Amino acid sequence: MIVQGAVNPDQFYVFKPALDKFQDPIIEKRLGSKQHKLIYASKGHGMIDVEVPERDRQRLVLDDGEIINLAKWATMIEEHYKKPMDIEWAKDGITGELYIVQARPETVHAAKRKGVLETYVLQEESDVLITGEAVGSKIGVGKVNVLESAFEISDFRKGEVLVTDKTDPDWEPIMRIASAIVTDRGGRTCHAAIVSRELGIPCIIGTGNGTGVLKDGQSVTVDTSEGVGRVYDGILKFSVKKTDISVMPETRTKVMMNVAVPEHVFAQGQTPCDGVGLARLEFIIASHIGIHPLALIDFENLRKRATRDPEVAEVVATIEEKTQGYDDKSEFFLDKLSWGVGKIAATFYPNDVIVRLSDFKTNEYANLIGGKLYEPLEFNPMMGWRGASRYYDDRFSPAFALECEALKRVRERKGLTNVKVMVPFCRTPEEGKKVIKIMSDHGLKQGESGLEVYVMCEIPSNVILAEEFADIFDGFSIGSNDLTQLTLGLDRDSELVSHLYDERNPAIKSLIADAVKTAKAKGRKIGICGQAPSDFPEFAEFLVGLGIDSMSLNPDSVIKTRLLVAETEKRLEKAK
């Protein structure tokens, strides 16, 4: 469910099953640009368009109570009509009262052929000319036609890319023949967004300066297939894959998905799968936060140091800019992380979503804003201070406490108890016990409200001491990438030895087979989330033969691997 305003709006995502049941059903709040607004004219009647003051642009138009109230109203309206509805609302600028002003049947998704998944894939790349909010998940190509007014319809040719400031009903004859639409202004419920969805045309809204950057006659590719709107220079090749997902076979082996960033999950969630086997916290931290957590925790001290240290002053200024509206900078981290995880968990609910705790290496943490102030220099970060060893270390434990609090909020305040936790790069059983203890101290108690805690099986010690690890954790997830490099003694990032890197090496397969055997003997779950089964069909067949419980794959490999797994399971059953 999305609750939002009309032009360049703030956006709010609400997890419907949590309404009336949990404290905080909001899974994302996104600040819009809000450059213009309509107000009553001071004299006479009518409305006038004015610029929004800078201080108001940095404030959300609704508070949490209003967001939840609107979401409840929307649910009531859908229940009344017994179908999905497009709902428009308004807020009185004087009294602050909320009103529902219109509700009509949702027609875009209802018109789609059920059971058929269309996937657009860009096969080439070029310079990105402009970006904005993506509407739909398609790709369109053509020559740019920049128009200022709908009265210029005679200048527009079928198949051209319409570029304009914003649209209204007068533009619809032009929009119907456009290959794609790009606007300077508008939000996800603006006229351009609604009509483009109904027409099935890729549309990018709120670019800010599309009419200034794109030129008449310029050949472009408009891509909304990955959740972010991008206009590329030139006509690029793309493919459209249609998959009948209504006949996907059931499998004993769970086929799950690896998820990187929350922006893509609504599209990825349409792919039939058994949940998320790997959601990486560090991807959310890098893309949604971008600031070292210790710099946020330590912000007041940094502010004092900034008066005498130019480097620190630059860090402070950047943090201030990125965290506008947050007096407590730690809350910025908690909000962004809990919203990111919450969006993923809500998309795949009630299936399991296994969230791996942060596994940045020191050089990667150092690249975050303020990171160089807190990270040591290591000559081999791949083998250094990463994963579990950070969580109980006094130099990092305050940051780990934020991770725990964010996950606790997702499970307890948003009701997303399908979130499970996974500990990466845990070298010894003793480390595992320390991490379980510190997680419990921060409110993530193993077994409470069904919380399961898994461990990555990616170090030879995880296999050799699998029985001891099984006494501590609820299950294993094989990380074939690190397991391969650590078993073969090579750096997977080094071009000099990359030709030796192969997860199909007999040594790797032997370790995986041992891990599966031990886990099953101890009654523990075991899956795999490494790259190998996504890349090599024969490796997926090998895993099915071992009786592995699940495999988590890249999104583009899920469907083909599910078909392969079903076929392999059928063949093995016949051979018994």
Question: Do 307 and 179 fall within a single domain?
Answer: no
Residue 351 and residue 427: Cα distance in Å, rounded? 29
Tens of pLDDT, residue by residue, the chain (576 residues): 344 444 457 889 999 999 989 999 999 998 877 777 777 777 667 778 888 888 888 888 899 999 999 999 999 999 999 998 988 898 887 788 999 999 988 776 665 556 677 788 899 999 999 999 888 889 999 999 999 988 888 889 999 999 999 888 778 889 989 999 999 988 766 788 878 876 778 999 989 899 999 999 999 999 998 878 999 999 999 998 877 777 788 999 999 999 988 887 887 888 889 999 999 999 899 989 999 999 999 999 999 999 999 999 999 999 999 998 899 999 999 999 999 999 999 999 999 999 999 999 999 999 999 999 999 999 989 899 999 999 999 999 999 999 999 999 999 999 999 999 999 999 999 999 999 999 999 999 999 999 999 999 999 999 999 999 999 999 999 999 899 999 999 887 677 887 888 899 999 999 999 999 999 999 999 999 977 887 788 999 999 999 999 999 988 788 888 989 999 999 988 887
Q: Report the alpha-carbon distance of residue 553 to residue 532 in Å, rounded.
A: 9
Q: Give dist(CA 77, CA 454) in Å, integer.
A: 41
Do residues 164 and 284 both lie within one domain? Answer: no
> How many domains does the chain divide into?
3
- Identify which of 539, 527, 537, 417 has the alpha carbon closest to the alpha carbon of residue 474: 527
d(CA 508, CA 488): 8
Residues 284 and 301 in one domain: yes
Decide: 509 and 560 in contact? Cβ < 8 Å: no
Together in a domain, 227 and 252: no
CATH number at residue 479: 3.20.20.60
3-state secondary structure (DSSP) of residue 280: strand
Q: Tell me, yes or no, whether 115 and 217 share the same domain.
A: yes
Task: Give the domain extent around 95.
Answer: 2-105
- Where in the sequence numbering do the catalytic residues fall? 191, 529
- CATH code of the domain covering residue 94: 3.30.470.20
90, 180: one domain: no
With 0.85 as the threshold, say if the pTM is over it: no
Tokens 């219109």 — which residue? 102
Last residue of one domain, picked from the residues 187, 209, 243? 243
Identify whether the C-beta of residue 441 lies closer than 8 Å to the C-beta of residue 397: no
User: In terms of domains, do 126 and 268 share one?
Assistant: no
In 281-380, where do the E strands start and end? 353-356
Residues 525 and 565 in one domain: yes
Q: CATH number, domain at 198?
A: 3.50.30.10
* Cβ atoms of 24 and 41 closer than 8 Å: no
State the Cα–Cα distance between residues 160 and 136, nearest whole angstrom: 18
Indicate if 153 and 253 belong to the same structural domain. no
